[in-house]
A and B are shown apart, each in its own frame.
Chain A
Amino acid sequence: MTEKTLRSGALSPGLTGSPEHVKSSVSKFRINKDFLFEYKSVIALLIFMVAVSMISDSFFSTNNMLNILRQTSINAIIAVGMTFVILTSGIDLAVGSILALSGALAATLIGMDFNIMLVVTLTLAAGAAMGAMSGLIIAKGRVQAFIATLATMTLLRGATMVFTDGRPISASSGAASDAFSFIGSGYLFAIPFPIYLMAFTFLAAWFVLNHTRLGRYVYALGGNEAATRLSGINVDRIKLAVYSISGGLSALAGLIVTSRLASAQPTAGNSYELDAIAAVVLGGTSLTGGKGRITGTLVGVLIIGILNNALNLLNVSSYYQLIAKALVILLAVLVDTRSSRQS
């Protein structure tokens, strides 16, 4: 509103009032804009929550809140890895395939009576290695991230099909199967265990991005690769690191999914990369890299999680859910590009 008035006033000089008038409207406008810009995703989230709670009574119940967080945890954990990748101005399409293959690996190991700690460690390491493969192709082969991870995505999905023979692998029998089921379905102090995993992932990512060299280098690399290289930083190693992180976190999400279903599905994680990318972008991270915050990603995954939950509560059919989700994402990104163009 203020913006409109200001613009038209400035355009037709004859109508401009006294300088004081111009000044006051300008400064008011600036405060509003800065505030909105900084917190627009949080504000969107809050408005959204209020709106949903008005339509549905059950929305604000503790149960439903925990439910949302638990369901969100899988996308959240993947989105954290995606944030690292996108900050370096890359993209990781392979997260869903990594989730499926590491889930299948975990279920197999459980079936072979492996110790739970060993299963978790091996699965996470395997996920990181799969991510590293993308990283290697991108860094050493100088292939664009989109193409490189499109290839690894397809390759790993194929590998999953071969490995599982296209059939689910059960994780409900084996020495460690009870412990394994705790990962996705267990409760600690009346809070689902995946929520702890999600919280831990965010805290760790926040620490790495804001307080370590790796984090600083991730931002630098996304902002200006040539300058980062010329500052004596091993850019290839940073790329390798972010894709490994993304792979490892996809494997963690794979553990949760597999544990919850007590079996590994060969089609698990299909198109999960899209929700993760959407969450990162909703959180204000720029796809061109170098700009964004992990807290933004948290807000982004919550928006998507609550949206999914609300559409369920309102009994919207799953076909319409997709359309509604697409519209919200589009709207958010449009608002985002408009406001950043103005600043």
Chain B
Amino acid sequence: MSTQSKSEPVFQMKDVIKIFPGVRALDGACLNIYPGRVMALLGENGAGKSTLMKVMTGIHRCDEGQLKYHGDDVVFRSSRDSRERGVSIIHQELNLIPELSIAENIFLSREPMGRFGRIDWKTMREEAQKLLDLLDVPFDPSTPVGKLSIGVQQMVEIAKALSFSSQVIVMDEPTDALTDKETESLFKVIRQLRSEGKGIVYISHRLQEIFQICDDATVMRDGRFIAETPVYQLTEDDIIEQMVGRSLEEQYPRIEVETGALALEVKNLSAPGVKGISFQLKEGEILGISGLMGAGRTELMKALYGANAAQSGEIRVAGEAKQIKTPAEALQSGIVYISEDRKGDGLVLELSVSENMSLCSLKRFQSAIGKINRSREMDSVQHFIKAFNIKTPSAKQLIKNLSGGNQQKVAIAKGLMINPRVLILDEPTRGVDVGAKKEIYQLINEFKNKGMSILLVSSDMPEVLGMSDRVLVMHEGKITGEFDRQEATQEKLMRCAVGKAA
């Protein structure tokens, strides 16, 4: 496909309006999907990207607007209907059943049948295996999905979408949880789909990826269509300017802070998934933890936080040896952990923004008779909503109605609300837009300036390098490298991450 010749769109959306109670999520959104081309859909958190895709695939019905598929007006009744007619979507949030196997998840509700209505397990496994091979996923189709890392689960979601052999495929932040290698396999598949003439929508906050894989880019702001441009005519700065409406300087606003006393000292810690870990963390220091997915970073953090039981070793907080066996004890010692898995164990989706944010720190808002002082709680919540620029109609909105990036901001605010000594952030900017990322970095800096110590776990190497004072690299549950900011480079981190000596 040459980049010049654009044929008629397979799918076309025009002037779409969608109103949720209190929110105009879409306010004149447009999108064209061309056969044999990858369309990037870009915008800040809460710009309405996911909502537009949900309108397209029949999950939400729009209040106004035109949808054309193969030139005809169309409204899908449900996501199932859209899938059956050749439009499938990989959602931003995972939708797998942890107890079922990879193959069962992929073919859920359309299992290949043998005689007497019996499930044809053999065909099912073989078909699943083919898809997994295509995506280079090194797992057996009979593995229960719950046992897989989030990245691999995401690959299973992708395999599932591919299995529908659709004309149009929407990928809503598919690389959010993927390793570089997995991302590469995904791109290989996308290129193949493109050459088969499929229309693809690709949503991501990682702008480099847009230049790697997309042909056109549609930018949205506040639910509105801003521009559709071929990618070769764009620079990263152009995109950011279209997205936020102004240009941004300096992506990583690192600050120098005089480090203070030792805040955290870990000696020879072993726990499920980690072996013999020792490191130190000073007040006012950001310690980046780098490594590949599955290197044991999250396991280490959960052990520090008392969510996983430590088998041996010592943890000292501010010089004092602490027995941390439960998260409650960790909180008491001033350690807080913000999970990488918002939907799994980070947030309570059925609760409101404010109830989620104050969940760890409710004790503070309690009066003598045990009544929660709601107005003080609200004040505190409002403060963080403002400081983090969280997009929500009110603090009482259910958190599941927020866009992914805004949910993430609430999760971080929840940790900061207890005013911890050591803040552990596990992939804090996953799914967060460029502008909001910077806001989060600035907030981290503000707390760093006040002497808080921060453990920053991230798979995003530029982020680790840009924000940390020191970097640890993990591989297979062990620390394989430690670098000062000046000496750390992407290549060195990568070498240690794959287990080679520094």
Is the CB of B345 closer than 8 A to any CB of chain A?
A: yes
- Tell me whether B348 is interfacial, beta carbon within 8 Å: yes
Q: B94-108 CB contact bits vs A (8 Å, 1 = yes)?
A: 000000000000000
Inter-chain contacts of A211 with B (CB < 8 A)? 371-372, 374
A26 contacts across to B, CB distance below 8 A: 61, 63
Contact between chains at A13 and B363 (CB < 8 Å) = no
Q: Distance (Å) between the CB of B153 and the closest chain A CB?
A: 15
Instruction: Find out whether the CB atom of B331 lies under 8 angstroms from the CB atom of A232.
Output: yes
| A168→B158 CA distance, assembly (Å) | 66
Question: CB < 8 Å: which of A27, A219, A232, A291 contacts B355?
Answer: A219
Q: Is the CB of B75 within 8 A of A10?
A: yes
Choice from B63, B347, B362 contacting A224 with Cβ under 8 Å: B347
- Which of B73, B74, B307, B345 has the largest count of A CB atoms less than 10 A from its CB? B345
Say which one of A15-23, A92-100, A142-150, A296-304 lies at the interface with B: A15-23
Q: Whole-angstrom distance from the CB of B81 to the nearest CB of chain A?
A: 10
Q: Does A334 have its Cβ within 8 Å of any Cβ on chain B?
A: no
Main SS of the interface on chain A?
A: helix
Query: Residue A1 at the B interface, CB < 8 A?
Result: no
B370 CB–A CB distance under 8 Å: yes
B77 at interface, CB cutoff 8 A = yes
Q: A212-B370, A290-B350 are in contact. Are A27 and B63 (CB under 8 A)?
A: yes
**Residue of chain B at shortest CB distance from A211:** B371
Question: In the complex, how many residues of chain A place their beta carbon closer than 8 angstroms to a beta carbon of chain B?
Answer: 34
- If A26-B63, A220-B355, A230-B339 touch, whether A16 touches B350 (CB-CB below 8 Å) is no
Segment at the interface with A among B187-195, B322-330, B443-451: B322-330
Which chain A residues lie closer than 8 Å to B64 at the CB level?
19, 22-23
Q: CA–CA, A131 to B325, complex, Å?
A: 28
Most buried by B among A22, A226, A231, A234: A231
Closest CB-CB distance, A252 to chain B, in whole Å? Answer: 21
A216 to B363, CA, bound (A): 11
A226 to B61, CA, bound (A): 33
Which residues of the partner chain A approach B359 to less than 8 Å between Cβ atoms? 216, 220, 228, 231, 233
Which residues in window 214-238 of A have CB below 8 A to B? 216-217, 219-220, 222-224, 226-234
Mark contacts of B304-320 with chain A using CB atoms, 8 A cut-off: 1 yes-contact digit, 0 otherwise.
01010000000000000
Output the residue of A23, A26, A219, A230 with the most chain B CB within 10 A: A230
Of the candidates A22, A34, A224, A229, the one whose C-beta lies within 8 Å of that of B327 is: A229
Partner of A13, one of B61, B72, B327, B372: B72
What is the bound-complex CA distance between A204 and B130, given in angstroms? 59
**A11: Cβ under 8 A from any B Cβ:** yes
Q: How far is the CA of A7 from the CA of B81 in the complex (A)?
A: 14
Complex-state Cα separation, A220 to B359, whole angstroms: 8
Is the CB–CB distance between A228 and B348 below 8 Å?
Answer: yes
Minimum CB–CB distance from A24 to chain B (whole Å) comes to 10
Report if A213 contacts B (CB, 8 A): yes
Identify the closest chain B residue to A208 (Cβ): B370
A-B contact count (CB 8 A): 97
Cβ–Cβ contact B307 & A216, under 8 A: no
Residues of A within 8 A of B337 (CB): 230
Which residues of chain A from 176 to 223 have any CB-CB distance to chain B below 8 Å in the complex?
Answer: 207, 211-213, 216-217, 219-220, 222-223
Residues of A near B72 (CB, < 8 A) are 13
B144 in the interface (beta carbon within 8 A)? no
Closest Cβ–Cβ distance, residue B378 to chain A (whole Å):
14
Given A13-B72, A232-B360, check contact A220 B328 (CB 8 Å). Answer: no
Contacts of B347 in A (CB 8 A): 224, 227
Q: Is the CB of A224 within 8 A of B307?
A: no
Docked-complex contact B362 and A234, CB < 8 angstroms: no
B350 & A223 in contact (Cβ 8 Å cutoff):
yes
Q: Does the CB pair B349–A23 fall under 8 Å?
A: no
Given the complex of chains A and B, what is the CA–CA distance between A224 and B345 in angstroms? 7
- The answer to whether B348 and A227 have CB atoms under 8 Å apart is yes
Shortest 8 CB-CB distances between A and B: which pairs? A13-B73, A226-B345, A223-B348, A232-B327, A223-B350, A232-B331, A232-B328, A290-B350
A-B contact pairs, 19 of them (CB 8 A): A7-B77, A19-B65, A23-B64, A27-B63, A207-B371, A211-B371, A216-B355, A216-B359, A220-B348, A224-B347, A224-B348, A229-B327, A230-B305, A230-B337, A231-B360, A231-B414, A232-B326, A233-B327, A234-B328
Other contacts beyond A10-B77, A216-B362: 12, CB < 8 A: A10-B61, A14-B73, A22-B64, A27-B63, A211-B372, A212-B366, A227-B344, A227-B347, A232-B327, A232-B330, A233-B359, A234-B328
Using CB atoms and an 8 Å cutoff, list the residues of chain B in contact with chain A. Answer: 21, 61, 63-65, 72-75, 77, 305, 307, 326-328, 330-331, 337, 339, 344-351, 355, 359-360, 362-363, 366, 370-372, 374, 414
